[in-house]
Chain A
Amino acid sequence: MAEDTPVPKLNFEYWLNKAIEWGQATTLESQKDVCLHLPQLQEFLHEIYETLKHKDSVVAIQQFPLIGQLLGRLCWNPFVVGYDESQKTLMWCLCCLYSSEPQNPVELKANSWIRSLLCHLLSSSKWESNEAETSTFISTLGYTSADYYCHLVKNMVFSLVTELRGNQFNGLYIQGRVSASRVNAMSLFCLPLITLPDVTPLLETLLLYHGGASKEILSSQFLEAVNEAFLKKKISLPETAVFSLWLRHLPSLEKATLYLLDQLVSIQLNSLEEVACVIKDSLLPQAASHPAIFRIVNEIFKNALLETDGTPEVMTIIQVFTQLFLQAHQNENKQHKFPLKAYFPYHHQPLVTALLKRPFELPATHWSAHLKHISDILKALVEDTNVSSLADLFEIWFLVVRFGEWPDIAAEQLLKAAGEPDALLWLLAFYYCPQNENQQRTQTMVEAKAVYNHLMMLFNCTVLSVKALEAAVHSITDTEQCCNQHLLTHLLTNFLLFSSGGHTIAQEFIYHITETTDSSKEVCSLLTRTAYRINHNGEENERTVKLLNELLEKLTLKV
């Protein structure tokens, strides 16, 4: 019966069969199966409602003759009724089928049946037989079933929570002897109820429950569903419960990390403050204080970086994440905190120690020396023949990426601080071009040095002419290797920001560069990072800050 209905007949039959199969969901298999299909069923019910709502009840029944059966069966399945918004849609559908002017006994019967069904759902007077006495008692008191069930559910949750937490006798917690199968059943039965606020204490207790068994006793469907609800911000759980969830269920952790990356990549990176906010809300940096979680999140970041070929956005996200992780770690009050080095076990420890030092922990005058120190260690490490494999090189490079603040500061210090530029240039060359099988890095270093020298000559000129910088610009636009391009763009941008004469021509130069080399995203990223760093770490003169903001505004409009 092909009509303008968006609900293909096939689906209807499918769900009707399912509903018949499930019955009232009394067996474990049927329960698991229902839980598996709840989200799709809800969508389907919604589609049905959309189709029904504009139709007359008679026409509706003609179109879906078996709809009564379907709705009837679903209303007796507590998993379906308890799930999210399914009960709303079920009731709306029933309303649509109620006829206001029944013409024949069949319609009268249908009406009566619909009312019975609704009374069953809402527990009006015809409460089930075992509740008959309760219902008269409660209505004499002047309450409704709404009040009763409100209390009942809270009491049941409290009772189950107490059972799981065991009893407290004289301050000692005695874990209740709750069997693994019972806990598993509890988790399955809670699945439809995850977004019901009354049940949150039970969710928390289940997530934190450790029965001593080596295998996971909570149903994995449950864990997935809780994670989903948490990511979509449909429920709020205490941190400990969320961490416990991720520790027990690896797919949830992976999903959470990928979800975060998706979120961040899709929003405009206007300011790193926003990015930091989103990352913090995800609770992942805080969770990462568990080394297992830290390791997995980093693996995922590494893969993301590889898949996107090292786009600056992803690199920035990883940097901010690492900073937030360090912050969270520092703020933790736990007695048995892992030392930071424990999170980077496979790396060269002196390098790790050097990178772990945050810039604000040192006075600005010491930054150059510290950077030289980092550069020296790196150089020795990288040029050591033992570390020749590509994988090892990548690991070292990835480590530096995570602490990307330092290369950024190196690029600034090159221009601002006096002293030997070689070490810092090498660091930057490595950052942008880690590989050296075909002497790419060496080449980069050479070109960078040339441009650098040129820029340093112009650094203190208060009046700059476009011509003076042209040579530098040409080397950017002409260069063959893109990693050279990145490095030189970085140097030039910094130059324009921080030099005495640069600010007057900054706008048009940057515009020109980003146009010819299609690097507006990259420059934007660089400027955003610089702004964030200045807000948090450094002091910078007003002129630079103002210029920075103007450039950002213009660039973000284009991007």
Chain B
Amino acid sequence: MEALLELVEQLPALLAGARSALVRDWDSLTLDRALEWARYFQHLHDRFRTRPRLREVLGRRLRRAQLSPSLGFPHLGRCPQLLGLALLENRALPPTACRCLLRSLLQPSGAEAGPEPHSLALLARRKAASRLLALPSSPPLSPADMEPQLQAEAQLLLGRLREEGQEAESAGEAAGRPRWFSAVLEQLPTPRVFEVVAAALLGQGNGAERAGGGGLAGNSLDGNRASATGEECVAGPLLSWLVGNQERFSAFCLFLPGSLLASLAGHYSQLSRPYLDLLAGCGSHLLYDPLQGRWVKSCPDKAVLSWEELRERFTCLYQGSAVLRGQTQAALKLLKAHDGDFQVCGLSVWTDLLTEVEECLRKDAEC
């Protein structure tokens, strides 16, 4: 067993090496050996997948071997692809070794007709399919209708979080935020990362509803077990990342549309309170301009919502679940009360908001 664990420790080094200039000295024998190792790791993964204790031991050993542990047990299963593609793109690989690589990756061979050649052909086919199916899309009809690329990124993020959660579960540890979490999210530019996180939270929240795109990335034969505990370990890190940093949370809320945020707030109570607080903060920055007869921003600051935007957001919240609507209404009423409880318009932004939002919804209900 110890010998096995020592082998497993080599995985990060193998992958790192494959991406580095070290491959300059590889010949076809070295390459063959590397590919064999990859296959062996996959074999280990398949064998121990259903044995939680062994999985946990292997996973722990793997993490020990890394400075910033980002690879876990599931990566053993993906090793052939990770290695193969990493080597393919590494320009330092000499021609002889490369030829060998191409042969074994892509060409049909009687001996090890493993999933390898097939899955790469499938990849090429799917990539072409994504070009073909990328017809200009009609405007999305609901916040759940997100751009497919966004969804895919969100699904991979969710998949990884789930894997992490499962490993933690089998180790008997509480699921916390994984150490790689922030580093990963930093890879995406700011507006994009918000969309991805929102999509991930929505995807997790809708859970079984999502018919087509709900597959978990990688291997998870116990996907169904990830119910209550799964939710926590997946949504938890995402939510705490969002809410933990005030600036970030404010940017998040201002960037995304009201309907999407209302949807999220409906699913996650950890979000509704901070969101309402944020909106309250925005509202307090509005001043009434008697000449124009409307509420305007007191300072031309982007980090503040305009009257119309604020109203739209509250309207969306009202259209959410009954709980959410109740919460919103209560919050508005409280704000109105603290602001003097005026009935006349033009004196308190909260009075006016409350009036208009409820009026608007009443009109909608009548039609």
| A-to-B contact residues, CB < 8 Å | 78-79, 81-82, 85, 87-88, 91-92, 94-95, 98-102, 111-112, 115, 118-119, 121-126, 133-134, 136-138, 140-163, 167, 176, 178, 182, 185-186, 189-190, 192-193, 196, 198-199, 201-202
Contact = CB atoms under 8 A, between A and B. Distances in A.
B215 interface: yes
Given A87-B128, A119-B88, A141-B160, A98 B148 contact: no
A129 to B, nearest CB: 14
14 contacts: A88-B117, A91-B121, A95-B99, A119-B89, A126-B89, A134-B153, A137-B188, A143-B78, A145-B85, A147-B218, A156-B148, A159-B148, A193-B125, A193-B132
Nearest to A185: B135
A218 to B, nearest CB: 15
B57 interface: no
Interface string B68-110: 0011101100100110011011010001101110110011100
Interface of B: 70-72, 74-75, 78, 81-82, 85-86, 88-89, 91, 95-96, 98-100, 102-103, 106-108, 117, 119-135, 137-138, 141-142, 145, 148-149, 151-153, 155-157, 159-160, 180, 183-184, 187-189, 192, 211-213, 215, 217-218
A142 B123 contact: no
A74 to B, nearest CB: 11
B124 A91 contact: yes
Q: Would you call the interface of chain A mostly helix, strand, loop, or mixed?
A: helix
Those 7 A-B pairs whose CB atoms lie nearest each other, nearest first: A158-B212, A82-B128, A155-B148, A100-B99, A81-B128, A124-B89, A151-B152
Contact of A145 (B75, B123, B159): B123
Nearest to A178: B138
Contacts of B72: 142
A147 B156 contact: yes
B82 A142 contact: yes
A418 B222 CA distance: 71
Contacts of B121: 85, 87-88, 91
Contacts of B100: 100
A293 to B, nearest CB: 31
Contact of A98 (B78, B81, B98, B188): B98
B106 A149 contact: no
Contacts of B107: 92, 95
A143 B156 contact: yes
B133 A160 contact: yes
A229 to B, nearest CB: 15
Contacts of A125: 89
Contacts of A95: 99, 102-103, 106-107
A12 B119 CA distance: 29
B137 A101 contact: no
B183 A140 contact: yes
B148 A152 contact: yes
Contacts of B91: 112, 115
Given A152-B149, A163-B137, A81 B125 contact: yes
Contacts of B117: 88
Contacts of A160: 133, 135
Given A124-B88, A148-B152, A152-B148, 6 more contacts: A99-B99, A136-B187, A138-B153, A153-B133, A156-B129, A189-B133
A318 to B, nearest CB: 42
A147 B217 contact: yes
Contacts of B217: 143, 147, 150-151
Given A91-B121, A140-B180, A140-B184, A156 B138 contact: no
A140 B129 contact: no
Nearest to A199: B129
Most buried by A among B91, B99, B129: B129
A176 B137 CA distance: 13
Among B75, B125, B212: residue with most chain A CB under 10 A: B125
B132 A82 contact: yes
Contacts of B102: 94-95, 98, 118
Contact of A133 (B75, B128, B148, B188): B188
A118 B187 contact: no
Contacts of B126: 149-150, 152-153, 196, 198
B208 to A, nearest CB: 14
A62 B133 CA distance: 38
B98 to A, nearest CB: 7
B103 to A, nearest CB: 6
Contacts of A78: 128-129, 131-132
Contacts of A198: 126, 129
Nearest to B99: A100
A144 to B, nearest CB: 5
Nearest to A125: B89
A161 B211 CA distance: 11
Contacts of B159: 143, 147
A482 B280 CA distance: 99
Contacts of A121: 124, 127
A155 B152 contact: yes
A100 B26 CA distance: 13
Contacts of A159: 137, 145, 148, 212
Contact of B132 (A134, A136, A192): A192
Contacts of B128: 78-79, 81-82, 87, 192
B75 to A, nearest CB: 5
B88 A122 contact: yes
